[in-house]
Chain A
Amino acid sequence: MLQYVVKRILLFIPTIFFISLIMFFILNVLPGDATTMSGGLKRQLDEQTTANMRKQLGLDQPLHIRYFKYMKGIVKGDFGKSYLRNESVNLLISERIMPTLQISLAAILIAVGIGIPLGFISALKQGSWIDTLSMVTAVSGVSIPQFWLGLILMYVFSLVLNWLPPQGYGDGGFMHMIMPSVTLGVGYMALIARTTRAAVIEVLNEDFVRTARAKGISELAVNYRHVFKNTLILILTTVGLQFGSLVGQTVIVEKLFSWPGIGSLLVDSIFQRDIPVTQGCVLVIIGVFLIVNLVIDLLYVVIDPRIKYTESNR
């Protein structure tokens, strides 16, 4: 087991290396660089200044040398220095990661806390109005674009009702978190509800559920001990895989609500061609994704006794 975990963590290294390689070259062949972007749209810096800046940032060196330098830093845990902000990427990210984790976790809580019960009830009451209603909600949840949902929420709860602050981080307080988290969580919740429903319907047809019913135990015990536990693996897999796209979606939501997280930092850095920041953000997001999926793979072992990560059966 421990061996497996160590092996998985070691496998992170080539994954991250490979991604950084692709990303580095793509970002560096994009038209324009930090020097041309730093002037803004109207103002064009003169030739001499840009040349100086390029030299200062090391942009005049060949690509492979820059990549090599960059990787040398990464190995030491140094993501480099922002081209435009005069701050280390490490510091920028460490300031921005908490707000992102805050709304991501809140979104997961919303998604899991509402999605799983909703899907479960739908499956048990298949074909009833509850089922229809919750599945319509789920389909809408998946299809509604976040920027639209966010704007509507802002309009209703801030402008019309004046209940919630429309934008910003405040001091990271609960009220400021509500709208970004909900916007982020709705699609995720809908997806989990649908997955849960499908998984429960599948498990309900299993022979062992019939056996459980034949034992004369309460319907609640049948549903919890026999149905729910057997759907958990499938639900967890969805939760894990979708977590990746959730972090991707923070880009939109954070920008919309001026939420000072990794997502908005990432967007800004792309527009400014602040390549070290872009790369740092992406690598951190990937790291989180890898860790979350490792944790979920390890949870499988806790849930399902048939799954074992030992050398003998691999």
Chain B
Amino acid sequence: MDILKINHLKTQFHGLDGTAHAVNDVSLTMKKGDILGVVGESGSGKSVTALSVMGLIKPPGEIVSGEILFDGTDLRNLSEKEMRKIRGNRISMIFQEPMTSLNPLLRIRDQIGEMVMEHQNLSKKESYNYCVEMLEKVQIPHPEKRAKDYPHQMSGGMRQRVMIAMALSCNPEILIADEPTTALDVTIQAQVIDLMLNLKEQYETGILMITHDLGVIAEIAKQVVVMYAGQVVEKGDVFEIFDNPKHPYTSSLLKSIPKLGRRTQSSRPRLEEIKGVVPDLFTVRKYCDFFRRCPDATDECSKKRPALVNINSNSAVRCLKYEG
């Protein structure tokens, strides 16, 4: 069953320099209890897609068109009040920056507490007990004591655990994790990911994992969506994408991952970078967005915009090589 289905979502930001097409016709599907990885460089529209699902796009941003079907209902049709019942309760989100994502002036138990009080009708005291329970689940030592702490008394890894505890406290059906490990040390990263996987098993929560770290995706995701310049350029099964990437962007991304032990080889090849920068989102191009950086570009690529072509039932690619 599809718990989340995004159809042709377009989210734009209107500014003085024009309109930024941050998310430009994105469609994706997530099965209940699955882990869907969304990969892309900064500015590819990953986070904006997530915030669109959460209904947290504020002016000057705007969802222009498309559907966000959550458990069959289009979230775009819900009132702010109805949306609030879903936010944090049935869909929750973990953000990239654990250092700044918690309110510095409130105790941890109040920050988790206000959420469970809102969605589960607990009293203040019950919410405190529940908070301690959640902190224990995310393996924070001395949870009773830590619940009374303020964020500044905790390390980054600890704060991200608090965020996870908070996000899972209402037992959501979808957890959106927006680069949850990017700001953490490598050792802490592994712990946090392990923790998320464990909790996913326990709660049967589906995870929408947004990251630019392909290693994380390879580790945990089942389905992968690769985004570039606000569009989906490739999607498919994780093994298929890693073993046999179809879009030149995906294969370039894979080549740019450092591999342990490669430097010891005699030739010492440099890491392959993707030349150039992400194209600006203000202009609508008549040619492929990846054209200027693409190693396989042909003349045709400068004349025509590729469409997303289905390869089989769950994989698709946006490249002229696979068209027609």
Contact in complex: B101, A208 (CB < 8 Å): yes
Is A217 a contact of B84 with CB atoms below 8 Å? yes
Q: Is the CB of A207 within 8 A of B89?
A: no
A residues 225-244 in Cβ contact with B at 8 Å: 225-226, 229-230
Give min CB distance, B64 to chain A, whole Å.
20
In residues 56-101 of chain A, which contact B (Cβ within 8 Å)?
none
Per the 8 Å Cβ criterion, residues 84-130 of B in contact with A are 84-89, 92-93, 95, 97, 100-106, 114-115, 118-119
A304-B105 contact given A211-B95, A217-B118, CB 8 Å threshold:
yes
Interface size class of chain A, counting residues whose CB lies under 8 Å from the partner chain? 20 to 34
CA distance A225 to B104 in the complex (A): 11
A216 to B104 alpha-carbon distance, docked (Å)? 19
Distance between B66 CB and nearest chain A CB, rounded to angstroms: 21
Q: How far is the CA of A221 from the CA of B110 in the complex (A)?
A: 12
Q: Does the CB pair A225–B84 fall under 8 Å?
A: no
> Could you say which of A214, A217, A230, A305 contacts B150, with CB atoms under 8 Å apart?
A305
Using CB atoms, name the residue of chain B closest to A219.
B80
Whose C-beta in chain A lies nearest to the C-beta of B86?
A: A216
- B105 touching A215, Cβ below 8 Å: no
Give the chain B neighbours of A229 by CB distance below 8 A. 103, 105-106
- Tell me which residues from 279 to 314 in chain A have a Cβ below 8 Å from any Cβ of chain B: 303-306
The interface residues of chain B lying within 8 Å CB-to-CB of A206 are: 100
Least Cβ–Cβ distance between B182 and chain A, in angstroms: 13
Chain A residue nearest to B106 in the complex (CB): A225
CA gap between A82 and B150 in the complex, in Å = 55
Cross-chain contact of A216 among B89, B95, B105, B106 (Cβ < 8 A): B89
Q: Does A55 contact B (CB under 8 A)?
A: no
Number of interface residues of B (CB under 8 A): 29
A204: min CB distance to chain B, Å: 9
Is A164 close to B, CB under 8 A?
no
* Interface status of A212 (Cβ within 8 A of chain B): yes
Of the candidates B83, B88, B97, B104, the one whose C-beta lies within 8 Å of that of A215 is B88
What distance in Å separates the Cβ of B121 from its nearest Cβ neighbour in chain A? 13
Asked if residues B104 and A208 are in contact (CB atoms below 8 Å), the reply is yes
Knowing A208-B100, A230-B104, A303-B105, the reply to whether A215 touches B87 (Cβ < 8 A) is yes
Q: Contacting B87 at CB < 8 Å: which of A216, A221, A225, A226? A: A216
**How many whole Å from B180's CB to the nearest CB in chain A?**
13
Chain A residues contacting B87 (CB-CB under 8 Å) are: 213-216
Q: A303: nearest residue on chain B (CB-CB)? A: B105
Instruction: State which of B86, B95, B150 has its C-beta within 8 Å of the C-beta of A210.
Output: B95
**Across-interface contacts of A305 in B (CB, < 8 A):** 104-105, 150, 152
Q: Mark A197-209, 1 if CB is under 8 A from B, else 0.
A: 0000000001110
- Nearest CB in chain B to that of A306: its residue: B152
Q: Mark B53-88, 1 if CB is under 8 A from A, else 0.
A: 010100000000000000000000000100111111
**Are the C-beta atoms of A218 and B84 separated by less than 8 Å?**
yes
B166 at the interface (CB under 8 A from A): yes
Question: CA of A306 to CA of B149 in the docked complex: distance in angstroms?
Answer: 11
Contact between B103 and A215, CB atoms less than 8 A apart: no
Inter-chain contact B150/A306, CB cutoff 8 Å: yes
Shortest beta-carbon distance, A273 to chain B, in Å?
A: 52
A305 CA / B87 CA spacing, docked (Å)? 29
Please state if B118 and A215 are interface contacts (CB–CB under 8 Å). yes
B contact residues around A217 at 8 Å (CB): 84, 88, 114-115, 118
CA–CA, A211 and B178, complex, Å = 12
Nearest opposing residue in chain B for A208, CB measure:
B103
Expressed in whole angstroms, the minimum distance between the Cβ of B152 and any Cβ of chain A is 5
- Smallest CB separation, A227 vs chain B (Å): 10
Please state if A210 and B56 are interface contacts (CB–CB under 8 Å): yes
Bound complex: CA A305 to CA B154 (Å): 13
Please name the residue on chain A nearest to B118 by beta carbon.
Answer: A217
Q: Which residues of A contact B150 (CB under 8 A)?
A: 305-306
- What residues of B have a CB within 8 angstroms of the CB of A225 in the complex? 103, 106, 114
A233 to B119, CA, bound (A): 31
C-alpha spacing A206/B97, complex, angstroms = 11
Q: B265-308: contact bitstring with A at CB < 8 Å (1 yes, 0 no)?
A: 00000000000000000000000000000000000000000000
User: What are the 6 closest A-B residue pairs judged by CB atoms, nearest first?
Assistant: A216-B88, A216-B87, A215-B88, A207-B100, A215-B115, A208-B103
12 CB contacts below 8 A, A to B, read A208-B101, A208-B102, A212-B103, A214-B88, A215-B114, A216-B119, A219-B80, A221-B118, A230-B105, A303-B105, A305-B152, A306-B104
Given A210-B101, A216-B84, A216-B85, output 20 extra A-B contacts at Cβ < 8 Å. Answer: A207-B97, A207-B100, A211-B101, A211-B102, A214-B54, A214-B56, A214-B88, A214-B95, A215-B115, A215-B118, A216-B83, A216-B89, A216-B115, A217-B88, A217-B115, A225-B106, A229-B106, A305-B104, A306-B104, A306-B150
